Amino acid sequence: MTDMLDNLNLIKEKDPHGGFEVVASQYQQAQFDATVQNGEHDQRVIANIVIAGMGGSALAALIAKVLLSKEITVPIEIVREYSLPNYVNENSLVIASSYSGNTEETIATFTQAKERGAQMGVLASGGALIDAAKNDGVAHVILPSGVQPRMATLYNLRALFALLENFSVISSEWNQEVASLGQWLESESAQWRPEVPTEENLAKQIALKTPGKIPVFYGGETTAPLAYKLKISWNETAKNVAFCNQLPEFNHNEFMGWTSHPVEKPFAVFDVKSSFENPRVLQRFDVSDRLLSGQRPHAETIQLKGDTLLAQLLWGAILSDFSSTYAAVLNGVDPVPVALIEDLKRELAENPVN
252 catalytic? Reply is: yes
41 catalytic? Reply is: no
Contacts 24+ apart (CB under 8 A), 256-259: 258/292, 258/295, 258/296, 259/292, 259/295
345 catalytic? Reply is: yes
Measure CA 347 to chain center.
26
Task: Name 141's Cβ contacts closer than 8 Å, sequence gap at least 6.
Answer: 34, 35, 36, 37, 121, 122, 123, 159, 162, 163
Task: Name 225's Cβ contacts closer than 8 Å, sequence gap at least 6.
Answer: 59, 62, 63, 65, 66, 219, 313
Contact 93, 142 (CB under 8 A): no
Peptide bond into 262 cis (omega under 30): yes
Q: Which of 165, 188, 236, 277 is catalytic?
A: 236
Q: Phi and psi for 185 in degrees, rounded to 5?
A: -65, -35
Q: Which of 41, 134, 305, 345 is catalytic?
A: 345
CA dihedral for 125, 328, 311, 288, sign (positive or negative): positive
Measuring CA to CA, which residue among 135, 152, 87 is closest to residue 113?
87
Half-sphere exposure (CA, 13 Å, Cβ side) for 123? Answer: 33
For the chain, the helix, strand and coil percentages under 3-state DSSP, each to the nearest 5:
50, 15, 40
Measuring CA to CA, which residue among 262, 177, 281 is closest to residue 224?
281
Q: Which of 252, 261, 264, 350 is catalytic?
A: 252
Residue 42 burial (CB < 10 Å; 0-12/13-18/19+)? exposed
- Which residues are identified as catalytic? 236, 252, 345
